[in-house]
């Protein structure tokens, strides 16, 4: 028996009030799913970092309801089509599973186990209940399955292609056995799977309630109606923007452990009430786990998370669902960091993804500088420690804190100090009671926020001492040691961040973006995040506000000078301030980047890197990353590079062609 008929995407329009009422019911269903999952899941990822999703999709996989304030904030509008289509025959009582980043591009790294379940009314497939949990471990080369250093997806754990985990109510024990045999903490995975199944069933129950109350026709029509509503709401935003190209570029400090920068480039082309997000010019896929798998899908959610934030921030009344993505289309070049091909590793795609969120907001801020914030902080990383109790010998492992920085300033307000996301910290008292380390300090970093009429949010810094040998501290997603974020409308960029061992001693060592540190007894680690960018010319910030920051210890006497304010021992020198503020010199305007980035771009200019990109993308995928590093080494050693970077790249490329004649020499333009 073919148990369902696919419902057509075209439905008669529902009256707007009924639609709003059903929207509440759908959200109630998605939220009830999330609470069920939160309550019954086993792993810390769910309960502490809320790294999970729950939602409802149309039969074609368009997410029409998600919980707003529960779970990960990255997946509003995730398209389940790729996974749904991989199964040909759905029956009541089926539940499907996948965690393969290369099967349908629903899952984006192996720890995320996605489930989806059809909800039928009679013969009609009404919708799917869906969701994922980030599992603590899926097997593979390293515990937790995540490391920047991994290069192939096979190293990142067992992968389950889309298949039925439960078939017509009967559990597929074989799949389960294989999965549980291959992971490090099978009890947790099993517990989390059960929680996911309970969550899907909660969604089904709530949808059944709605069907009983409103009728299946109305419910089906409303699932499409809420998507259409979000579509119209999003188009309102583009219609209010000036048509044109908005180009924004940013770098990840290292494209692999100790590597060279990774460039992320975006051109937002606004035309009428639509936009194209063109990622051409972003780096080739990497020999590290920073790749972001999207399959080149034009509305894949990962490159569009920042877009969701922008739309919602500008209009908090929008419906948060896949309809928001309809006016947008992404261009994601194949074999790039934003569309890697199998078997590139993808475990740490979150760093790339959060950097892309920043450049999306950045590109929009070029069009709407008065309505969006300057660059967000970042780079601090998530700190974990593994050490032993020196008296009992007992092993202690814990997540000790995310190291966070603030949000960018904007036209009406300073950025939020200390953090700008859903992450929560761990109380120092809990950390110290559980793990034999001593926290020396955990505070905001003065002067780390970019100066501006509206100051960027400050970074946080944590300093702590280790007591036993062989202790290991991991700091996932470290970045922004070299390049910081940007200021807007003449505001300054935030400060970069640091990671030091034994600061202020003879043994001081800078750890940069190192993500795994082995410590000796007595070692002190000091780690900070970057600060966020400021908005507007700092000299226009009222002196009283600057002095208030000085009184609060958020800006030092020295830092006040960036605002044209002279403070001595916390006291204002009015005359000197007046002189400084009215002194000669051009005041900054527009987008402001940090000096390190400007210095770097003397060689690696937009033009040079675009040229490099064209060269690299003409090569087979396997060669691109390798040759990028070779070219970087040669160009950086080329003393004439600054005079004409493009020529230097060409010189390097030519010499490499001689060295590697197996790369068939092809002229530009013949690449395809």
Partner 1 sequence: MGYRIGVDIGGTFTDFCVFDEASFALHTLKVLSRPDAPGAEVLLGLDEIERRFGIAPQEVSYFTHGSTVGVNSIIQGTGARLCLFVTEGFRDVLELARLKIPDPYDLFSRRPPPLVPRDRVIPLRERMNADGKAEIVPSEDAIVAALAQAEAAGAEGIVLAFLHSYTNPAHERLVKEAINRLRPELPVFCSADVWPIVREYERTITACIHGSVQPRVSHYIGRLEAALRERGVSAAPMITKSNGGVMTASAGKERSIEMLLSGTAAGVIGAGFVAERAGFPRVMSLDIGGTSADVALLRDGMPDFRSGELVGRYPIYLPTVSVSSIGAGGGSVASVDTLGVLRVGPESAGSTPGPACYGRGGQRATITDAFAVKGVLGAAELGYGAVNVDRARALAVIEPLAQGLARSPAATAEAVIDLAVANMYREVSRLFSQVGEEPSGYALLAFGGAGPMMGCLLAEAMGMETVIVPETPGVLAALGGLLADLRSDFVRVTFLDVDAATMPAIGQALAGLVSEARDWLHGSQSRGGQGYDGEATLTISGDMRYRGQSYEIETPIAESWITAKNDKAIIEAFHARHAEIYGHADEKAEVQLVALRVVIAGKTPKPSFPDRPVTPVEVAPEGSVTVTHRGSEIEAGLFQRRTLKPGSRFNGPAVIIQDDTTTWAPPGFSGAVDGYGNLILSKERTPWRPTP
Which parts of 199-218 interact with partner 1 (CB under 8 A)?
Answer: 202, 206, 209, 213
C-beta of 1 vs 395, nearer to partner 1: 395
Nearer to partner 1, 61 or 203 (CB): 203
Shortest Å, Cβ 528 to partner 1: 13
Q: How far apart are CA 644 and CA 646, in angstroms?
A: 6
Query: 485, 359 in Cβ contact below 8 A?
Result: no
Q: Which of residues 581-620 bind partner 1 (CB under 8 A)?
A: none
Give the chain's radius of gyration (CA, Å). Answer: 26
CB of 586 to partner 1, least distance (A): 30
Rounded to a whole number of angstroms, the minimum distance from the CB of residue 420 to partner 1 is 6
By the rule CB under 8 A, 370 interacts with partner 1: no
What x-and-dash track marks residues 442-461 binding partner 1 by CB under 8 A? xxx---------------x-
- Residue 232 lies near partner 1 (rule: CB under 8 A): yes
Q: Does 73 bind partner 1 (CB under 8 A)?
A: yes
Q: Which stretch binds partner 1 (CB under 8 A): 24-32, 144-152, 155-163, 608-616?
A: 24-32
User: Residue 199's closest CA among 111, 128, 300?
Assistant: 128
Spatial separation of the C-alpha atoms in residues 301 and 321, rounded to whole Å? 11
Rounded distance between C-alpha atoms, residue 257 and residue 253, angstroms: 10
Least distance (Å) between residue 511 CB and partner 1: 21
Is the distance from CB of 538 to CB of 562 less than 8 angstroms?
yes
Structure tokens at 348: 């740490």
Could you say which of 425, 468, 477, 496 contacts partner 1 (CB under 8 A)? 425
Cβ proximity to partner 1: between 288 and 419 the closer is 419
Dihedral, CA of residue 65, residue 68, residue 70 and residue 76, to nearest 10: 60
Closer by beta carbon to partner 1, 460 or else 477:
460
- Comparing CB distances to partner 1, the nearer of 102 and 442 is 442
Q: Whole-angstrom Cα distance, residue 295 to residue 332?
A: 8
Which residues, including other chains, have CB under 8 Å from residue 558's CB and lie 6 or more apart?
A: 447
Q: Does 31 bind partner 1 (CB under 8 A)?
A: yes
Strand order in the sheet with 244-252: 244-252, 262-271, 274-278, 328-331
Phi, psi dihedrals of residue 469, rounded to the nearest 5°: -65, 160
Contacts with partner 1 in 528-567 (CB under 8 A)? 548, 551-554
The DSSP line for 388-406 is E-TTT--EEEEEEEE----
Nearer to partner 1, 189 or 285 (CB): 189
Task: Assess 339 for contact with partner 1 (CB under 8 A).
Answer: no
Minimal distance, residue 510 CB to partner 1, in Å:
22
Hey, is 213 helix, strand or coil? helix
Give min distance, CB of 142 to partner 1, in A.
20
Among 438, 465, 581, 629, binds partner 1 (CB under 8 A): 438
Nearer to partner 1, 198 or 516 (CB): 198
**What one-character-per-residue DSSP string does 30-94 give?**
HHHHHHHHHHH--SHHHHTT--EEEEEE-TT--EEE--SSSS-SS-TT---HHHHHT-----TT-
Among 240, 271, 441, 655, binds partner 1 (CB under 8 A): 441
Q: How many residues bind partner 1 (CB under 8 A)?
A: 85
CA distance 393 to 436: 11
Report the nearest approach of partner 1 to the CB of residue 554 (Å): 7
> Cα(394)–Cα(481) distance, rounded to whole angstroms?
34
Site string for partner 1, 152-191 (x = CB under 8 A): -----------------------------------x---x
List the one residue from 6, 170, 177, 440 that touches partner 1 (CB under 8 A): 440
> Applying CB under 8 A, does 489 fall inside the site for partner 1?
no
The DSSP 8-state label assigned to residue 587 in this structure reads P
**C-beta of 398 vs 657, nearer to partner 1:** 398
**Binding positions for partner 1, 316-335, rule CB under 8 A:** 316-317, 320
Q: Which residue of 6, 13, 44, 633 would you call a contact of partner 1, by CB under 8 A? A: 44
Contact between 463 and partner 1 (CB under 8 A)?
Answer: yes
3-state secondary structure of 623: helix
CB 341 within 8 A of CB 335: yes
3: tokens are: 């148990």
HSE-CB for 271 with a 13 A CA cutoff: 6
Between 68 and 651, CB nearer to partner 1: 68
In the complex, the smallest distance separating the C-beta of residue 514 from partner 1, rounded to whole angstroms, is 23
State yes or no: residue 571 binds partner 1 (CB under 8 A).
Answer: no
Q: Judge contact between 553 and 428, C-beta under 8 A.
A: no
Nearer to partner 1, 191 or 298 (CB): 191
CB of 627 to partner 1, least distance (A): 38
Listed ranges 436-444, 506-514, 528-536, 648-656: which one lies at the site for partner 1 (CB under 8 A): 436-444
Does residue 412 have a cis peptide bond before it, meaning omega lies within 30 degrees of 0?
A: no
Identify the helix (H) or strand (E) that includes residue 244.
strand 244-252
Instruction: Round to whole Å and give the CA distance between 150 and 101.
Output: 15
Among 171, 341, 366, 428, binds partner 1 (CB under 8 A): 428
Toward partner 1, which CB reaches closer, 329 or 371? 371
Single residue of 97, 220, 234, 372 touching partner 1 by CB under 8 A: 372
Place of tokens 């089904």: 204
Nearest to 485 by CA among 603, 359, 305, 590: 359
As a whole number of angstroms, the distance between CA 547 and CA 328 comes to 45
Structure tokens at 31: 């939220």
In the bound state with partner 1, the residue whose beta carbon lies nearer, of 191 and 343, is 191
Q: Residue 580: how many CA atoms within 13 Å on its side-chain side?
A: 18
How many residues are given for the chain? Answer: 672
Q: Return the residues of window 271-310 that contact partner 1 according to CB under 8 A.
A: 308-310
Does residue 55 interact with partner 1 by CB under 8 A?
no
Name the residue with tokens 């540190």: 517
CA dihedral 144, 150, 155, 161 (to 10 degrees): 90
CB of 318 to partner 1, least distance (A): 10
Minimum separation from the CB atom of position 148 to partner 1 (A): 24
Q: How far is the CB of 502 from partner 1 (least distance, A)?
A: 17
In sign, the C-alpha dihedral spanning 409, 412, 417, 419 is negative
Minimum Å gap between C-beta 121 and partner 1 is: 18
């Amino acid at each position: 028996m073919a148990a369902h008929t696919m419902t057509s995407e075209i439905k008669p329009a529902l009256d707007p009030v009924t639609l709003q009422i059903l929207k509440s019911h759908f959200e109630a269903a998605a939220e009830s799913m999330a609470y069920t999952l939160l309550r019954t899941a086993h792993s810390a990822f769910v309960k502490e970092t809320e790294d999970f999703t729950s939602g409802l999709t149309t039969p074609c996989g368009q997410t029409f309801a998600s919980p707003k304030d529960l779970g990960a904030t990255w997946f509003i509008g995730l398209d389940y089509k790729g996974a749904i289509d991989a199964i040909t025959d759905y029956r009541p009582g089926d539940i499907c599973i996948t965690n393969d980043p290369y099967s349908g591009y629903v899952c984006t790294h192996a720890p995320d186990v996605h489930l989806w379940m059809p909800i039928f009314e009679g013969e009609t497939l009404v919708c799917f209940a869906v969701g994922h949990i980030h599992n603590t471990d899926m097997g593979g080369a390293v515990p937790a399955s995540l490391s920047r250093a991994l290069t192939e997806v096979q190293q990142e754990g067992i992968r389950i292609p889309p298949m039925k985990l439960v078939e017509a109510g009967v559990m597929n024990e074989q799949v389960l056995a294989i999965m549980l045999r291959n992971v490090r903490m099978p009890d947790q995975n099993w517990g989390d799977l059960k929680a996911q199944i309970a969550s899907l069933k909660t969604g089904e129950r709530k949808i059944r309630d709605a069907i009983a109350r409103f009728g299946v026709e109305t419910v089906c029509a409303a699932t499409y109606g809420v998507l259409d509503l979000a579509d119209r709401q999003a188009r309102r935003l583009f219609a209010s923007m000036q048509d044109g190209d908005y180009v924004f570029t940013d770098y990840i400090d290292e494209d692999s452990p100790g590597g060279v920068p990774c460039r992320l480039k975006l051109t937002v082309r606004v035309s009428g009430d639509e936009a194209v997000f063109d990622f051409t010019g972003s780096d080739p896929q990497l020999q590290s786990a920073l790749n972001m798998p999207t399959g080149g899908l034009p509305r894949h959610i990962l490159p569009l998370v920042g877009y969701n934030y922008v739309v919602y921030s500008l209009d908090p009344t929008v419906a948060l669902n896949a309809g928001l993505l309809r006016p947008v289309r992404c261009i994601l070049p194949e074999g790039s960091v934003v569309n890697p091909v199998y078997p590139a590793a993808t475990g740490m795609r979150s760093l790339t993804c959060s950097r892309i969120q920043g450049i999306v907001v950045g590109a929009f801020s070029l069009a709407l500088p008065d309505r969006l914030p300057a660059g967000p902080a970042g780079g601090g990383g998530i700190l974990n420690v593994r050490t032993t109790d020196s008296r009992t010998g007992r092993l202690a492992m814990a997540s000790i804190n995310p190291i966070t920085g603030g949000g960018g300033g904007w036209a009406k307000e300073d950025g939020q100090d200390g953090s700008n996301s859903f992450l929560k910290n761990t109380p120092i008292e809990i950390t110290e009671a559980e793990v034999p380390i001593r926290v020396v300090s955990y505070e905001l970093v003065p002067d780390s926020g970019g100066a501006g009429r509206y100051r960027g949010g400050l970074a946080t810094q944590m300093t702590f001492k280790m007591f036993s040998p062989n202790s290991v501290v991991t700091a996932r997603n470290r970045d922004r040691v070299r390049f910081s974020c940007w200021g807007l409308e003449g505001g300054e960029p935030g400060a970069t961040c640091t990671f030091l061992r034994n600061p202020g001693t003879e043994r001081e060592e800078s750890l940069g973006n190192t993500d795994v540190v082995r410590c000796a007894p007595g070692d002190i680690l000091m780690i900070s995040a970057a600060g966020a960018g400021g908005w507007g010319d700092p000299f226009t910030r009222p002196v009283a506000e600057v002095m208030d920051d000085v009184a609060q210890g958020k800006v030092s006497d020295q830092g006040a000078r960036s605002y044209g304010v002279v403070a001595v021992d916390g006291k204002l020198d009015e005359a000197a301030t007046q002189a400084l503020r009215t002194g000669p010199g051009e005041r900054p305007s527009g987008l402001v980047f940090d000096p390190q980035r400007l210095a770097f771009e003397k060689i690696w200019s937009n033009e040079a890197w675009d040229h490099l990109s064209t060269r690299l993308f003409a090569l087979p995928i396997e060669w691109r990353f390798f040759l990028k590093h070779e070219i970087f080494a040669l160009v950086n050693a080329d003393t004439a590079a600054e005079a004409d970077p493009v020529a230097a790249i060409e010189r390097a490329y030519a010499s490499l062609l001689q060295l590697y004649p197996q790369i068939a020499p092809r002229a530009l333009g013949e690449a395809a």
